[in-house]
Amino acid sequence: MKLNEDNCGPTLRISKELHAMKYRGEGESFLEAQVRFANALKDSPEHFKALKKILVDQRFMGGGRTQAAIGAPRKVTAFNCFVSGTMEDSFDHIMKTYTEAGKTMRLGGGNGYDFSPLRPKGDLIVKLESRSSGPVSFMSIGDAICGTISAAGHRRGAQMAVLRVDHPDIEEFVTAKHNRDQLTRFNTSIGITDEFMEAVVNREEFALRFNGRIYEYVDAYTLWEKIMRSTWEWAEPGVLFLDVINNMNNLKYCETIAATNPCGEQPLPPYGACLLGSFNMIKYVNSGGFDYEQFRRDIRVVVRAMDNIIDRTIYPLPEQEQEAKNKRRMGLGMTAVANAGEVLGYSYGSKEFIKWFEEVAIILRDSLYWGSVELAEEKGSFPLFDADKFCDSNFVKTLPDDLQQAIRERGIRNSHLISYAPTGTISLTADNVSGGIEPVFSHYYDRTVQTFDGPIVERVEDYAYRVYGVAGKKATECTPEEHLSVLATASKYCDSAVSKTINCDPNMDWEDFKNIYLTAWQTGCKGVTTFNPGGSRFGILNEVVEENEQEEPANEACYINTETGQKECA
């Protein structure tokens, strides 16, 4: 069948409009945008043909910045997310960090920061004979800068602030967003250590320290209760398990990770950058079941294309370019997982669903790594590749033996390859497939959107519900155990991290809620986020609501969507 704008791409009006606003140039059709993307990233005519077919069918969708930037005349980066350089404990360096962040945001990138190197509130500043105002106070500068750049560019900015749990100002950080109007352009997460979690479990004292000096001992369990109360009531801060992240890092031998991108699915070193993209799993479902062979073939095509972005895009900062090219990191994952699994007959979170999801997660992992090995033979391994050290990393040791041996002998093109992003906007542009690895929130909802032709109100139905008549298990119907089993499965086969929100019943037992986080740590998850729809920030939500989007959604702006109850990133 001849391809044209009438028989390819999204079919829902809202999906067409959003795709045009977010990812296409003026007057550019959906088909033309996919041809642009494939042409800019092709290695050969055969590669172009295969990649174009994948993109036109929406079997794979690059992250928002990737789709908008590649091959386009606009001067924006194709990288979705960055982490700032290490923020040193001086006013000049703090301002340098924010200057670099501003440059990054101007070109469309989100930023993550580790504020842990900043001295605690009240510490003496000898040169000025004054006292430090602490890391939380300096967050307000970044909040203002982000707001200014967002206002100029008509997009909400995206930032992640991280503070280690052993920092003396941790309690102030926990409560910093107990409001509705301060630090609104920051997501916040606490860097949790194994030492702290063990102190919580054993009901021991825990040292708050800075630069080797112990400031005070606190009761770890009491501090944990405060963190949990904040996440329950205010949906922040999130939790990052730093030791798990670093212990499972393929590049543990040459980098230390202290922060993540704004949505938390990409732990990154200083000046780290990552490409994002997701395979649309519902597109591999047909009358014969799930097309595993097509999935495998597509992965090899896509990893080659995404690797080319590293050399064919622009970077806000030279340090980011060097970091990206030295390690050639990317984060490819899945979306429409719930839709695909449930159309196949597996209820979300059930044993049957987990068995199927584990199968496709293994295929994704192994096919990406094999594809990267093949690229290394052709184009060379990433510059910081050390065969012995890389193959000795804890995640690589989980790969099949023949794949480990191939990496040792033939090299690998990319240091990291897998990430499970929330995919809020790209999932909607694919006719509203279920986002990322999340369950369906509702089978339909009403939405008001400002389009080029003015506001429209549409009933937006879940893809599986509309196309297959399958009413999937809703997020509020899933137990915490079902949510956690999906999170743990994704984490096991992911070399970066996973963005997933565990929806909670406002009336659930308090100990059960806290056990979500404890179980996540114990099962090797790198982070966890929960959402209580009865909390102070959001109130009780209805499934059929209207959303007035007078602003274009932000690139990589991550937030709890009051319509879906889930964390989303544009």
Q: Is 263 a catalytic residue?
A: yes
Report the SS3 class of residue 132: coil
Report the SS3 class of residue 506: coil
Closest-CA residue to 477 (of 341, 349, 352, 345): 349
**Distance between CA 478 and CA 354 in Å, rounded?**
13
Q: Which residues are paired to 14 by β-bridges?
A: none
The length of the chain is 570
Of 81, 146, 263, 494, catalytic = 263
User: Running DSSP on this structure, what letter comes out for residue 280?
Assistant: E
Q: Which two tokens stand for residue 1?
A: 């069948």
Q: Is 481 a catalytic residue?
A: no
> What letters, b where the CB count within 10 A reaches 16 and e where it falls short, cover 132-168?
bbbbbebbeebbebbeebbeebebbbbbbbbbbbbbb
Tokens 């209207």 sit on residue: 546
User: Running DSSP on this structure, what letter comes out for residue 397?
Assistant: G
**Distance between CA 225 and CA 514 in Å, rounded?**
8
User: Running DSSP on this structure, what letter comes out for residue 288?
Assistant: T
Phi, psi dihedral angles at 297 (to 5 degrees): -65, -45
Closest-CA residue to 277 (of 54, 32, 484, 488): 54
Q: Is 552 a catalytic residue?
A: no
**Distance between CA 477 and CA 16 in Å, rounded?**
30
Q: CB under 8 Å, gap of 24 or more: what pairs does 285-294 form?
A: 285/340, 285/343, 285/344, 289/344, 290/340, 290/344, 290/356, 290/360, 292/360, 292/363, 294/59
Closest-CA residue to 273 (of 569, 557, 556, 502): 556
User: Running DSSP on this structure, what letter comes out for residue 317?
Assistant: S
**Distance between CA 319 and CA 424 in Å, rounded?**
29
Closest-CA residue to 260 (of 329, 209, 172, 360): 329
Of 265, 321, 482, 556, catalytic = 265
Of 80, 261, 414, 555, catalytic = 261
**Distance between CA 442 and CA 252 in Å, rounded?**
41
Report the SS3 class of residue 209: strand
Report the SS3 class of residue 340: helix
Asked if residues 34 and 52 have their Cβ atoms less than 8 Å apart, the reply is yes
Give helix then strand counts, H and E, for the chain.
Answer: 20, 23
Asked if residues 173 and 163 have their Cβ atoms less than 8 Å apart, the reply is yes
CA 357 to chain centre: 19
Beta strands in 31-178 (DSSP E): 60-62, 81-83, 110-114, 124-125, 130-131, 159-164
**Distance between CA 461 and CA 444 in Å, rounded?**
4
Q: Exposure of 353 by Cβ count < 10 A (0-12 exposed, 13-18 middle, 19+ buried)?
A: buried
Supply the residues annotated as catalytic: 261, 263, 265
